[in-house]
Amino acid sequence: MSQTAQSQNLPAAVKERSPFISALVDFWKAFRKNKPAIIGAVIVFFFILLAVFANIIAPQGINNQNINIRLEPPSAQHWLGTDSFGRDIFSRIVFGARLSLRVGFFAVIGSIIFGTFLGVIAGYFGKVIDTVISRFFDILLAFPSILLSIAIVSILGPSLNNALVAIAIVNIPVFGRLVRSRVLTVKEEEYIMAARSIGMGNTRIIFNHILPNSFAPIIVQGTLNIATAILDAAGLGFLGMGAQPPQPEWGTMLSDSRQYITDAPWTVLFPGLAIILVVIGFNLMGDGLRDALDPRMKN
């Protein structure tokens, strides 16, 4: 049978499949083979569901205080117990997922936008521009991330939104250097030279060729950095520099309950466990994305 006859016998969905759909199918086939990555994705999806449907899932008000039931252990009425103000810990953890994921996602999105912008400019144009931007990245990377975040929040003032801004600023050089290194490689490819030879402008080359070929490492690094951002937000909250009471942010909950770690360990155990699970989930999923998107990992 000829190739023409074989192609006519193919299902219409196969013949009309776009390159994007084909790439998506290949990605899913590679990703689902990674069992730890699937576990991580399930954990992340679980916490996203908690955040989205917090108003339905949480059985109690997050700020409803009842001193008569303060520091009660887990029970049928309060699944994870109550804190020092008699507030339901399960409800606060559920709403805390909304706060922590918001910080993680928006901080990383901000870092990606500014880091990618600076990285593309530095890598594509080079020379003095590259030197100035690279030294800016080096200055930011010279400070430990948590200390730089504390310094920025100290200037802006303690709050969850300011902690989000601080975490975004701290992570800019991570994405900036990643994109810069990718641009330095891609801009030397033959198709970029061909685009220049036909008179294509720098802006079109960047948006049509440079950025599309740099998305894969950005997605992987972004997924991993969401976990870091959530951990940093919890650290700032624990130090009193992030979310302020009575916001049910996990780090703030740990800070408020640390003095009861021996008398009421559940007040510390469950918020800490939530932080651990969501960070592990994003890390496992990020590793799976790296393996699925990196062509060097494919046979």
CA-CA-CA-CA dihedral for 56, 49, 99, 276, to nearest 10: 120
pLDDT along the chain (299 residues), means of 10: 47 54 77 90 95 88 87 90 91 93 94 94 91 94 90 93 94 94 87 84 87 86 93 92 89 90 92 95 91 64
**Whole-number percent of the chain with pLDDT over 90:** 57
Burial of residue 15 (number of CB atoms within 10 Å: 0-12, 13-18, 19+): exposed
Which domain range does residue 194 map to?
40-297
82 phi and psi, to 5 degrees? -125, 160
Quick one: 157 exposed, middle or buried, by C-beta within 10 A (0-12, 13-18, 19+)?
Answer: exposed
DSSP-based helix, strand, coil % in the chain, nearest 5: 75, 0, 25
pLDDT at 295: 56
Q: Give the model's pLDDT for residue 49.
A: 95
* Amino acid found at 156: L
Nearest to 37, CA basis, from 261, 161, 184, 223: 223
In this structure, is residue 281 part of a structural domain?
Answer: yes
- Summarised one tens digit per residue, pLDDT across range 2-34 is 444 444 554 544 445 566 677 778 778 878 888
Looking at residue 170, its pLDDT comes to 95
Q: What is the pLDDT of residue 2?
A: 46
Write down the pLDDT at residue 19.
66
pLDDT of residue 298: 53
8-state DSSP, 298: -
Contact criterion met (CB below 8 Å) for 259 and 175: no
pTM given for the model: 0.85
| CATH code assigned at 235 | 1.10.3720.10
- What's residue 221's pLDDT? 92
Question: Is residue 185 one of the residues assigned to a domain?
Answer: yes
Is the residue at 22 inside a domain? no
pLDDT at residue 297, rounded to an integer: 54
The DSSP string of 36-84 is HHHHHHHHHHHHHHHHHTHHHH--S-TT---GGGTTPPS-SSSTT-B-T
- In the chain, how many domains are there? 1
* Residue 19 in domain: no
Q: Is residue 190 a part of any domain in this protein?
A: yes
pLDDT at site 17: 59
Residue 18 in any domain: the answer is no
